[in-house]
Amino acid sequence: APIRPAEMSCAVSAVFGRPVALTPRRGAPASRRASSFRCEAAGIKTGKAVWRGENTKEVGNGEGFETEFLFDLGGETPAQVKDLRFKKDSEVVTVTIPRPLGIVFEEKLDGIYQKIVVDEVLEGSNASKVDVKVGDVLRITTAVFNVPGVIDVTAWLNPPKSSNCKAFYVADQKPFDKVMDAIKSHAVPVDTPDGPMEVEEVGLVLERPTA
């Protein structure tokens, strides 16, 4: 059964699926890698799962900036992530990639913090056709979360079913396994008025070092 996490659009948090098989990189025991999964079915495709908003402000006496992002989660208005901080010399990249992605992610140490970076973009993959580069730091991914039904005193004997919905997951300082599970969760069909449908694309927010 899915575990329920933090950072999702529906104000519930979670991580789905079984852990991704990870292979330690030889010579770097603190580093772990995982490749993106494959897609077997078709379904929801927007062409623009995430984009950068208009609000940006300088912070930390010019040492960085904060900006906002908007996610198409299927509602009437996009879900918003505010005040995500970036280093001053970095570039903000948002991409919507059809599944399978063709990205190998790796966990690396940045000072005292762990970060998840793009270690490889497979040749000819969907990721190679959009703006994804080796060294990009993963900040947010779209995901599919399982949201429990609302239970009140009249429904405790027959509680409503939970549902799978499109969401987002902030990767900052999260365990590598959980971030990979969030990406992998796109293989879980979301519930729609027309029945379950798979999500054909993944939206990523990346930070690209420029210095």
Residue 132 makes CB contacts below 8 A (sequence gap 6+) with 93, 95, 97, 103, 118, 121, 204, 206
Burial class, 130, CB count within 10 angstroms (exposed 0-12 / middle 13-18 / buried 19+): middle
Neighbours of 75 (CB within 10 A): 12
Specify the residue for token string 């992605």: 101
The 10s digit of each residue's pLDDT in 86-121 is: 999 899 999 999 999 999 999 998 888 899 999 999
Tokens standing for residue 121:
């973009």
Neighbours of 121 (CB within 10 A): 20
List of E strands, the chain: 23-25, 28-35, 43-44, 50-59, 64-71, 79-87, 90-98, 103-110, 113-121, 137-147, 163-170, 190-192, 195-199, 201-209
Kindly report the pTM of this predicted structure: 0.78
The 10s digit of each residue's pLDDT in 129-152 is: 998 999 999 999 999 999 887 666
β-partners of residue 57 are 66
- In 72-162, alpha helices (H): none
Cβ(211)–Cβ(89) below 8 Å? yes
The 10s digit of each residue's pLDDT in 19-39 is: 232 233 333 334 466 655 443
pLDDT number for residue 98: 95
